[in-house]
Structures are given as C-alpha cells and as structure tokens.
Amino acid sequence: MRTRHVAVVASVVLVFAAVAAETAILTDSYAAPVVSRGTGKGGTIWKTEICVTNPWEYSLTLTDAFVQGGGVVDGTRWELPAGNTECSQDAVSDWLGRSSWTGAYVITALEEDNPGVDTLFAVSVKIYNTDPRGTFGQTVPMGSYIPDPWGVAYPLSYGVATGIQNYGAVGVSGFRTNLGVFNPADVAQEFEFHVYGNEGQELWSTTRNVPAMSQIQFAIPAGVVVQNGALLGVIHGDWFMFGYASTADNRSGDGVYKPLSVEYSIQKRLQAKAQGVTVGPRDALVRLLGSATGIERLDGPRSGRTSPHD
C-alpha cells in the first residue's frame, strides 16, 4: 500500500564535516550529477542503470529523487530489505516514467527514518547506449561523502579532469566531449569551464549560471580541437557543485565519464578549522531531500511503485 506525503518533509540540516569523494566510498548519501534517457548524436540511444544495495541484516528506509529545473521532479521514500539489491536497467523510464529526460539523481538514508542503526549503503549508476552488438556504457561515479578527520568542512572551489578529447567527425573518427554540472543547492551559482590543450594553452572557456537544484550539460563546440587536454572547473558560490566531462567515441558511441577531481589540501583544512567554517557539500544534498515536497512513501521496494509520468 502506498501513501502520498503532501506536507513538507521537515528540513534536516546536518552540519556534518565532509568532503566530496570521487572514489568508491560506502556512505549514507550520494549524488549522480547526470542520469539520462534519450537519443544522441550518431544514432545513439542512451539509457541509465541504477542499482542500490543494502549490506545490513536489517531493512533501510531510503529517500531518492530525480532533480532538475529548480527542484525535485519526483521523489520516493522506500524500503530496501536486508541484504537486498534493487536494480533497474532503464531507471529514467522505470522509476521516473519519462521516455526522454536528463537531470541528476540523489539518494540518502535520512537519520530520522532509520533511528539507531548504521545507514551506509551502496549505489552504482551507469549511462549506456544500446547497439545491435550489445551495450556501450560509462559508469557515473557517485558523488559520495566521507567524514572529515579535521572536524570541519569548507567550500570546495575547483576541480580538474584530464584526458579531454574533442576532434574528428561523428560516425567517422575521433571523439566528442560534453561538459556538465549539477547544483544541489537551493540558490543559483556560477560555474566556470576552462578547456586546455596538452601544452597548457587555454583553448576555450565559458561561464554558466546554474539554477538552484538543477543540472546542465552542453557540448564543447566542434571547432574547438582538443587532443589529450584537460578541464578546469571553478565554483562561484558557497555550496559545492558536481562538475564533469563525458567523452564519446565518434565511431562506436562508447562513452567515458570524467569527474572533476576536487581539491583536498590539509593546509586549507587546518585554515578552515581555525576560521570555524562549517559549510560542507553534504549539507546541500540533505537540505534538498530533507525539505522536498511530494515525496511518495512505499511500504516496500522501489520497484513496487507505478511510474508517475508518461
């Protein structure tokens, strides 16, 4: 049986000292900067696989949401039984009910829903395109959070991705690269993208306004030729944002996801601790899900919900 929560879920702001981690960290809150379903260049058809595992001997209550355009497009609070894995090979269609959509996906185990128990769980996300020969896909590393040993969080201001390629022609040769960023905060922020060649020369840059609780993605212009280059992303704002690049093979359509590796400086951590800075990236995610309206509650697994949209 399902019941719809219409009232605003009580806002939960956890001043939790944390840093974003691109490695596989088992934690209680994750963000996928991009999930997608739809057609791409060269006849590619993209879908998203999402899998969630509860490693404990007890059930966990999870809250997840698809986010775009200023807020939660659709959210669900659901139960994941002990030791179980919930998985969809076409989550945007199965869980969101959309035939064509691009945005972000966030999931957390709120403490208020799981009192007195450990709430760590595992998530994996893969965006892939279908082909008569099989599938070609790219794993999207979940933006996860680890405890900060220095007991403080500070605004992370920039990140770097390497191995950027953008040359050739679709269906013929070379590679093409899209850039994107997810802003989980409830305020708009700016994000700078700087593309560099392999000898350090800046080839192209753009500054994009990223609306609150939104994800944007766009292509490096075809005329900007990049071989073995790099991407620098710079955040202008008080809240962390998840930046990335996605490079696709122009012939096969196979994609490779390249997250921005964020700064982690012990010296800066100590300086931030001395200044009493307490704004961390996890705060934005928990604020987003903790204050969302219209979260549907399921008395069972995620797959038990009927798709809410088309």
pLDDT tens digit sequence for 260-302 = 876 655 455 556 556 655 444 455 555 556 555 556 766 667 7
Residue 33: half-sphere exposure toward Cβ, Cα within 13 Å? 26
Locate 243 and state its tokens. 């930046």
pLDDT for residue 148: 42
Minimal CA–CA distance to 49: which of 151, 132, 127, 153?
Answer: 127
**Is 309 within a domain?**
no
What distance, in Å, lies between the first and last C-alpha atoms of the chain?
22
**Is 247 within a domain?**
yes
Minimal CA–CA distance to 50: which of 151, 168, 142?
Answer: 142
What is d(CA 159, CA 233) in angstroms, rounded to the nearest whole number?
A: 5
pLDDT per position as a tens digit, 122-156: 999 998 887 766 666 777 776 654 334 434 444 45
Find the domain containing 295 and state its range. 2-304
Phi, psi of 286, rounded to the nearest 5 degrees: -70, -35
How many Cβ atoms are within 10 Å of 173's Cβ, its own excluded?
Answer: 11
What is d(CA 51, CA 89) in angstroms, rounded to the nearest whole number?
A: 8
Q: What is the domain count for the chain?
A: 1
What is d(CA 211, CA 104) in angstroms, rounded to the nearest whole number?
A: 13
Locate 51 and state its tokens. 């899998």
Query: What is the percent of the chain where pLDDT is above 70?
Result: 69
Minimal CA–CA distance to 63: which of 72, 36, 48, 17?
Answer: 72
Q: Which of 66-80, 139-153, 179-193, 212-226 has the lowest mean pLDDT?
A: 139-153
In angstroms and rounded to an integer, the radius of gyration of the C-alpha atoms of the chain is 19
Locate 29 and state its tokens. 């809150």
SS3 74: strand
SS3 226: strand
Cα dihedral: 181, 186, 189, 191 (round 10):
-10
**Is 290 within a domain?**
yes
**Is 310 within a domain?**
no
Locate 251 and state its tokens. 């012939």
User: Model pTM?
Assistant: 0.73
pLDDT for residue 289: 62
The residues near 81 (Cβ < 8 Å, ≥ 6 apart) are 54, 59, 301
The residues near 104 (Cβ < 8 Å, ≥ 6 apart) are 31, 32, 33, 34, 35, 66, 67, 68, 182, 184, 215, 242
Residue 159 has pLDDT above 90, yes or no: no
